[in-house]
Copies of this chain bind each other. A is one copy, B any other.
């Protein structure tokens, strides 16, 4: 979470620790697991006084994805979200709020994985549990 850590994380990934990348990396990993879009990260950077360009935010998110330190979220919105938690886990999706929430590790278990088609292998499995707000109980 401190800068060294970020420096090393970037170096280890083979990315030059430029000012922008360090700043974005700090924002991304500075507060636990998160889900964020390019636009959000861009806004955050500017709020934090780091004037990166939107194009750089996109580039950076893709570079981070390529080296595996974040991963894109499977969802159906038009906007792409990235997850800072690259370990195997799944998500709730609240449609009305367009919000993704992590499902705690033990919450869901896959019992049987399907046989992939000939010549294919499974990379990973994403589960999205779509949620809706329960109809409020009628006030008495």
Q: CA separation between A90 and B129, bound complex, in Å?
A: 12
Q: CA separation between A123 and B121, bound complex, in Å?
A: 30
The residue of chain B having its C-beta at the shortest distance from the C-beta of A129 within the complex is: B125
> Does A134 count as interface, using CB distance less than 8 angstroms?
yes
> Does A17 count as interface, using CB distance less than 8 angstroms?
no
Within 8 A of B (CB), among A88-106: 90, 92, 94-95, 101, 103-104
Identical chains in the assembly: 2
Q: CA separation between A95 and B79, bound complex, in Å?
A: 18
> Does A112 count as interface, using CB distance less than 8 angstroms?
yes
- Among the stretches A19-27, A33-41, A48-56, A69-77, the one at the interface with B is A69-77
> Does A114 count as interface, using CB distance less than 8 angstroms?
yes
Which listed residue, B94, B103, B114, touches A108 by the CB 8 Å rule? B114
Interface bin, chain A:
35 or more
> Does A87 count as interface, using CB distance less than 8 angstroms?
no
> Does A122 count as interface, using CB distance less than 8 angstroms?
yes
A-to-B contact residues, CB < 8 Å = 72-76, 78, 80, 90, 92, 94-95, 101, 103-104, 107-117, 119-134
20 residue pairs A–B, Cβ–Cβ below 8 Å: A72-B76, A74-B75, A74-B128, A78-B78, A90-B114, A92-B116, A92-B120, A101-B117, A109-B111, A109-B112, A110-B111, A116-B131, A119-B134, A120-B132, A122-B132, A123-B131, A126-B127, A126-B128, A126-B130, A127-B127
